[in-house]
């Protein structure tokens, strides 16, 4: 079975298939928006949905390495960069939903809102870090920065995971609705804990 899975993962059509599946939420939101199926408050629905999909893809990206190591399916690494860029794609949509529908692209109002509301500040900070990761996700960036500096920079994904969870927590605090926050927080916490355990194992074995 693993051999068959490996052959499927390296098939030339698998990447386009994964790309298409990752794009489905956007297509659904676009269709729902164009046919007035987003409910009584479409702006809030879009903002919430794009934020949720950003977190979901963030969980997927962080799950690639554990799944690759646990299952022995090395070809899973082929999809990590693509999934990471989809994290950024949905984060852009999330930010645009806020800037357009909530603030009308009023930069002065957005600046004041960032200072006034901590969860907006955390969200924007998260987006800035994601931008740095997205802009350096290509092979040319690795060559320019050097492998060690590139790897150090991309460890910011852990900071992004923490800030994204905090942003979601503070956003839901106003409505006292933490059920989904606990779900995403638990998944991200589990994935980060796994990486910490692996790091400590390598550190112990190297001593």
Write the pLDDT tens digit of every residue in 78-137: 999 999 999 999 999 999 999 999 899 999 999 999 999 999 999 999 999 999 999 999
Q: What is the pLDDT of residue 105?
A: 93
Q: Give Cβ neighbours of residue 26 (< 8 Å, ≥ 6 apart).
A: 89, 90, 93
Q: Give Cβ neighbours of residue 42 (< 8 Å, ≥ 6 apart).
A: 33, 36
pTM (global) more than 0.95: no
Reported as half-sphere exposure (CB side, CA atoms, 13 A), residue 172 has a value of: 18
- Lowest-confidence segment of 111-115, 157-161, 170-174, 184-188 by average pLDDT: 170-174
Q: How far apart are CA 96 and CA 77, in angstroms?
A: 30
Residue 168: pLDDT band with limits 50, 70, 90: very high
């Amino acid at each position: 079975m693993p051999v068959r899975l490996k052959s499927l993962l390296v098939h030339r059509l698998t990447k386009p298939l994964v790309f298409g599946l990752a794009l489905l939420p956007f297509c659904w939101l676009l269709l729902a928006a164009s046919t007035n199926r987003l409910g009584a408050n479409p702006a809030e629905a879009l903002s919430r949905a794009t934020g949720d999909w950003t977190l979901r893809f963030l969980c997927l990206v962080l799950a690639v390495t554990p799944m690759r190591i646990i299952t022995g399916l090395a070809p899973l690494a082929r999809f990590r960069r693509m999934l990471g860029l989809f994290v950024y794609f949905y984060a852009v949509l999330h930010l645009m939903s806020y800037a357009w529908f909530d603030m009308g692209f009023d930069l002065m109002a957005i600046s004041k809102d960032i200072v006034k509301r901590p969860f907006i500040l955390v969200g924007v900070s998260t987006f800035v870090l994601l931008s740095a990761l997205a802009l350096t996700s290509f092979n040319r960036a690795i060559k320019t920065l050097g492998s060690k500096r590139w790897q150090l920079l991309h460890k910011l994904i852990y900071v992004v995971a923490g800030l994204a969870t905090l942003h979601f927590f503070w956003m839901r605090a106003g409505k006292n609705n933490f059920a989904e926050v606990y779900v995403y927080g638990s998944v991200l916490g589990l994935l980060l804990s796994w990486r910490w355990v692996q790091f400590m194992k390598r550190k112990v074995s190297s001593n």
